[in-house]
Amino acid sequence: MAEVAARYSFLRSRRWVTIAVVALVVSLTCALLGYWQYTRYQGKAEAAALVEANYDSAPVALTELLPTAQAPWSDDLTWRQVRVTGEYLTPAVVLPQRPIGGSPADHVLAMLAVEVEGEEEPWWLLVDRGWYRSDAFGDHTAQQQLPDGQVTLTVRLRAAEPPSGRDLGGRQVHAINPSQVLDAAAPGADVAGQVVTGTYGVVAQESPTTASPPAALRRPSADLGNHLSYAFQWWVFAVGALVGAVVLARREATVLGGPGSTPDPAARPRRRTEAEEEDALIDAQLAAARAGQARETSSR
C-alpha cells in the first residue's frame, strides 16, 4: 500500500489537482446536460401519451369533466372531447403570430355562451376556431366571421394560458386566456354568466359554420425526437471524462517508475534543448574527425 501511495504521489501536485478539477467539471456538466435531455424526452412522452389516450375519445358533456366553471385544471383532461351548444359573442378576437408547423399563423378566438343544464346563466367558454396564414396586407374578414345564432360544437380541451402583460390593442390578445379574450371581445361590458377559467376548447366540429372558416388545428405530433439517445450520449461523455483522467494517471505512474519502484520525478524523460542538440552535433563531428586522423596515422 505504501508503494502504491508513493507511486501515485504525483497526484498531489498542482498540475494533477487542476486535471482532476477539470475532469470533474466536464463530467458534471455532461451529466446535467444528459438529465436535461432526459427531462425533455419525458415531457414529450407524456404529451404523446395524452394524445394517444384522449384525442379520439368520445365527446361528453362539459360538466362531466368540469363540475364548476372555476374548477381547477387537470392535465389528464388534455385533448378530451366535449360537446357544447351555445351562441358566440361577437366579434372574434385574433391571436397573432402563433406559428403552426413552423408557418406564421393568426388564430381566431371567440367566447361561446354555453348552455349548461341546471344553470340559469351560461358558462363562457373560450374557443380556438382555427388559424389562417399571417398576412398583414391580406383581408381575413371571412375567416374571422362567426356563425350566427345557436351552434353545436365538439371541442378538444386545452389548459388555459396565463394572462399576458402585453396589450396589443384592438381585438388582439397575446395569450389564450379566457378573461383577456372576453375583455377584448366586449371591452367594459358586464356580461351575465361565469367564465370557464382553467381551460379552452379547440374546435373539432362546428355546426352550422361559416362560408370560409379558418383552417382546423393539426393533430399534435407524437414524435419523441432523439432526446433519449442524446441523454445517453452525454452520460457516456460524463463517464469518459473520469475514465480518461484515471487512464492518464496510470500512464504517468508507469512513466515515472516501473511496478514496485519508487517514482522519481527526475527520471521523467526530458526533451533536449536546442543548445544541447547543437553540442551533441559538434561532439559527434569532433569524434568523427579524431577517428579520421587516427586512421590516417595508422595507415602510415
Query: pTM of the entire structure?
Result: 0.71
The residue to which cell 362567426 is assigned: 146
Average pLDDT over residues 277-297: 60
Q: What pLDDT, on a 0 to 100 scale, did the predictor assign at position 154?
A: 96
pLDDT(246) > 70: yes
With contact defined as beta carbons under 8 Å apart, do 114 and 84 qualify?
A: yes
The pLDDT of residue 167 is 84
What is the tens place of the pLDDT at every residue in 44-100? 899 889 899 999 999 999 999 999 999 999 999 999 999 999 999 989 999 999 998
Q: What is the pLDDT of residues 33-49, one digit of tens each?
A: 999 999 999 998 998 89
Q: How confident is the model at residue 160 (pLDDT cuts 50, 70, 90)?
A: very high
Closest CA to 130 of 34, 214, 26, 254: 214
Q: What is the pLDDT of residue 294?
A: 54
- Quickly state the pLDDT bin for 220 (edges 50, 70, 90): confident
User: Phi-psi category of 52—alpha, beta or left, where left has phi over 0 and alpha has psi -120 to 50?
Assistant: alpha
For the chain, report the end-to-end CA distance as a whole number of angstroms. 67
Q: What's the mean per-residue pLDDT of the chain?
A: 86
Comparing C-alpha atoms, which of 75, 99, 110 is closest to residue 218?
99
